[in-house]
Structure 1
Amino acid sequence: MIYRFTCYSILTLVNILFRFGIPVFGQQHPNVIVILSDDGGYDDFGCYGGKEVYTPNIDALAKNGVRFQSAYASASVCAPSRAGLLSGRYQQRFGFEHNISKRPTAGVAPEDIGMDPQVATIADFMKYNGYKTVAIGKWHQGDGPQFNPLKRGFEHFYGFIGGDRPYFPIHGAVKPTQLLYDDRRIVPEDSIHYLTETLTNKAIAYIQQYRSQPFFMYLAFNAVHTPVEAPLKTIDKYKDVADPLRRAYLAMLDNMDENIGRLIEHLKQEGLYENTLIIFMNDNGAATNNGADNGQLRGLKGSKWEGGIRVPLIMQWPAKLPKGITSNAMVSGMDILPTSIDAIKGKKIQGQQIDGISLLSSYKDVKNGHDYLFWRRGIARAVRHKEWKLIVVKDDPILLFNLRDDLREQHNLAAKYPEHVKEMLHKLTEWEKGLENPKWLSSVLDNDQNQLMKHRMDVVGRAAERQYP
């Protein structure tokens, strides 16, 4: 007997194939996962030269994809860096210049401190193009209800609103910004094992839930931000490290890498690995207080030295990208939004400015990267153009470095190349004309003094740098 397929039976077959991650009617749209680590040291990731910690899964992303060697965060501290990533533009364009604080500037109400609701996020763009959108982990874009991820384009949010929280369950009262949410429901503290693992478990659950349709996931680990709380099962691996802070930090980084491996393994099990674009990035340079190491890069989190803004950035997409590529193109966290839209061949939301460029083309040639990148936080400003880097901090002497010859930023060439100083100052001034005044100030009351001190040429060495957070 000849079996006659009905429309219903065809649809049933299609649904079954989708359920098992099998492409139907040609190539499916790719999934996109952005993984963000917090306050990691540039030299602590194996593929960037790290020797003390075991990061095989992050290293495998680089081995199987593209590793950028001149990648930058749009800010040297957590919240504005994330705002740049989420918006695809310089966060100063909408007044997001400092970490979230309770110090509004003139004309700004305290409840309005956060990422401008009129600015579309990467989730808004992906949702606009038919994607399921999930945010997991640290948010840090404003405490008020209008800034909640569920109001910013994400259909799901499993994480906490603030900038930090403990990794183990909190006993007693929990600060509102540290509460762990599952969408609108507060997650009981006693259900948290170790937060990095708990966040990964939820990420895996969402991958399983949306395996038959394209999804975008923003997985923002709070590891390896303070408090430095190592998972007990991992810390013994680093018992030979003398410094207890460094030992615990390495264990935390190791654990995050292990959980990234679990996530990738699940993608493979679901048949989603080949057609998932994974972008891994660190949000800024090594912190002054968590035991991280920037290696040869000068400076730490909060500074305009390379150690404050240059970050690991890796892109892997087995179905589309070559393996083992090292790119010297100058790129930014702002590029993640346009890269995601490019990958899905999506449409942009009209009226939303984007400063980023697609990494899918920029990795191929240094000429395809940014020509200029700019930074500003309070009295400290910087600009990079090709091999040149300029730092300007209020009335301190102007600093100019040739990063091609002097990546450690040891030799100030401002007096020798006044024409470069003049040109780059002009570009910086022109860029600033398109910015809004900061809507709030830093919560660090002596931030300006710290900025002045940390950018002095005679502040040399990690011990000296850590004096000025």
Structure 2
Amino acid sequence: MFRHTMTISKRDRFPGRTTVNSAMLQLPTPSAQRCLRFAFFVLLFVTCEVAASRSTLFAASNDRPNLLIVLADDMGYGDLGYTGSQQLQTPHLDSLAKSGVFCSEAYVTSSVCSPSRAGLLTGRDPRRFGYESNLNQSAAAYGTRPELLGLSPSEHTLGDQLRSAGYATALVGKWHLGSHEAHHPNARGFDHFCGMLVGSHNYFPTPDKHQLERNGEPLREFSSPYLTDFFTDEALRWIQGQDEAASQPWMVMLSYNAPHTPMQATDQDLAKFAHISDPKRRTYAAMMYALDRGVGRVRAYLDETDQLEETLIVFFSDNGGATNNGSWNGPLSGVKGSLREGGVRVPMIWSWPGQLPAGKRTDAVVSSLDVLPTFMAAAGAELLPLKPSPSHEDKRNRRRAEAKYGAYDGINLLPQLRGESAPATRTLFWRLQGQTAVRDGEDKLITLSHRPAQLFQVTSDLAEADDRFDADRSRAEQLYKMLGEWEASLATVPLWGSSPMWDAESAKHYDDWGVKSEPR
């Protein structure tokens, strides 16, 4: 079409430094000029289309919701106004439930704090990677190598998954998944961490007496004197910083330690519950009131900044109410530390205005294992492939388990919550300190260290009062087989244990903690 000749000097034989000898250049003919103009307009059109496409993709990436987990600690199933409490005041959590979907049959992966959180953060049954017992003072004595005494680095966390999807990530509050440097939240996918690595903490920290840090540095001052309010302050401060940067969507895990012991509340909050005669229950009510206030503050900020409809929120407790904090498990029997419903069944709320229906209740079986795949689906991202099996795992068993149960144990709940698909039939397993359990469909089998096994139909028998083991032996044997196959599929033994004293304590939960039928 046209011809030109260039000469290149020796000093310019490098990219970007080509020179043209204009005397050697021959201009194109008129017909070639017309073709050149046509090619230019085609190129311009394509460039605009590509720019528009990139703009659309960028807009779509900004449409991904912010993600918020609000986790209570040792909260009783009946301790919301929405679930039957007549003494506690939880208006903001009740409002959250009315704004979204309340899951009445939600389960956590353990009835004690640390393994429950391990399941939540990985989307995998924690027994699959050796996380069975709680992390407490006896764990180190009954443990393994220090670097294995916590959430194994061989597992992806929720922070890892969402950071890989382009999210800014933060965890505020209780960690309780190991204090070795390999387990630190900042090393486990969280850009920001403020809170404590341990399982419990005084609610009135002072500059010279606390175990709190921010990204590895001990705290020197507190925006609020009461820990629950301070954690709310910190979460809001970080969210506001992300809003100012406006560079990427965010995920926050607001991991309150309330209403876990020690039982401590402000005088102002206690005064609201002077009518409760039981001092422990009164303090518990005040602690829940502070937690509820924090949820209200966060939602108010999101509403004021037009982000409420752009944020997917999930709320639940890490396990059921404990024996020592004045909690109430409503219609459920059992408590923290047992595998009865009161230990592993929790109220769960999902809220995403405009995306999920409001005021809906579902009795479908759901799990804390589902948070990770649901969040990743909302983010439009795929779950990361599992990391290679670590040296302490039986690789044959791991392959077999992945073939039978899959790499992850949770499911994406969004279609179910929206009413676009029927509830899935779930099979969930538990094992803790001489106890094992499986729930499959409507039935639940519990094996104990000090009693014969028990079989309950928990959809209709919330209190687990009607043991059907002898009446339906064939179903019991079927569940026994499922439980045995699951245990035999695990890739490793528990990486640490607890004192045998806890086995005896767990046994007491079945003997001493039935249903407290009257709301408290």
Provide the TM-score with structure 1 as the length reference. Answer: 0.88
Superposed, 1:344-423 pairs within 5 Å as: 344-351=379-386, 353-363=407-417, 364=419, 367-394=422-449, 396-423=451-478
SS in 2 for 1:455: helix
Does 2:261 match 1:229?
Answer: no
Displacement of 1:217 in angstroms is 0.5
| Correspondent of 1:241 among 276, 279, 287 | 276
Closer/same/farther in 2, CA of residues 430 and 56 from structure 1, 3 Å limit: same
CA deviation string 1:99-152 (max 9, x = no partner) = 114445888213431010110001100000000000100000001111100000
Displacement of 1:358 in angstroms is 1.3
CA deviation string 1:203-238 (max 9, x = no partner) = 111111112220011110011100110122211110
| Correspondent of 1:275 among 310, 327, 330 | 310
Aligned to 1:62: 97
Superposed, 1:146-161 pairs within 5 Å as: 146-161=182-197
| Correspondent of 2:480 among 422, 425, 429 | 425
Closer/same/farther in 2, CA of residues 348 and 69 from structure 1, 3 Å limit: same
Identity of aligned residues (%): 38
Displacement of 1:184 in angstroms is 2.2
Distance 2:354 2:422 in 1: 25
Superposed, 1:262-341 pairs within 5 Å as: 262-341=297-376
Equivalent AA in structure 1 for residue 468 of structure 2: L
Displacement of 1:370 in angstroms is 4.5
Distance 2:216 2:278 in 1: 41
Equivalent residues, number: 435
Does 2:241 match 1:205?
Answer: no
Superposed, 1:51-200 pairs within 5 Å as: 51-101=86-136, 102-103=138-139, 108-170=144-206, 173-174=209-210, 179-188=211-220, 192-200=224-232
Distance 1:387 1:100 in 2: 32
CA deviation string 1:232-272 (max 9, x = no partner) = 22111100100111101101101110111001111112221
Closer/same/farther in 2, CA of residues 246 and 426 from structure 1, 3 Å limit: same
Q: RMSD across aligned C-alpha pairs, in angstroms?
A: 2.1
Distance 1:209 1:33 in 2: 16
Distance 1:366 1:434 in 2: 30
Distance 2:87 2:98 in 1: 19
Contact 1:31 1:276 in 2 (8 A): yes
Displacement of 1:434 in angstroms is 2.7
SS in 2 for 1:301: coil
Displacement of 1:387 in angstroms is 1.5
Contact 1:329 1:366 in 2 (8 A): no
SS in 2 for 1:134: strand
Closer/same/farther in 2, CA of residues 230 and 415 from structure 1, 3 Å limit: same
Gaps of 5+ in 1: 1-22, 463-469
Aligned to 1:217: 252
SS in 1 for 2:470: coil
Distance 1:413 1:432 in 2: 23
Equivalent AA in structure 1 for residue 506 of structure 2: Q
Distance 2:143 2:256 in 1: 34
Distance 2:169 2:99 in 1: 25
SS in 1 for 2:159: helix
Distance 2:252 2:292 in 1: 17
SS in 1 for 2:335: coil
SS in 2 for 1:206: helix
Equivalent AA in structure 2 for residue 338 of structure 1: P
Closer/same/farther in 2, CA of residues 190 and 69 from structure 1, 3 Å limit: closer
CA deviation string 1:185-220 (max 9, x = no partner) = 211256551111111111111111112220011110
SS in 2 for 1:198: helix
Contact 1:73 1:284 in 2 (8 A): yes
Closer/same/farther in 2, CA of residues 40 and 118 from structure 1, 3 Å limit: same
SS in 2 for 1:419: helix
Aligned to 1:453: 508
Closer/same/farther in 2, CA of residues 449 and 26 from structure 1, 3 Å limit: closer
Contact 2:207 2:219 in 1 (8 A): no
Distance 1:365 1:282 in 2: 27
Contact 2:333 2:341 in 1 (8 A): yes
Distance 2:441 2:60 in 1: 45
Distance 1:365 1:69 in 2: 19
Contact 1:169 1:189 in 2 (8 A): no
Contact 2:103 2:347 in 1 (8 A): yes
Distance 2:205 2:444 in 1: 44
Contact 2:108 2:116 in 1 (8 A): yes
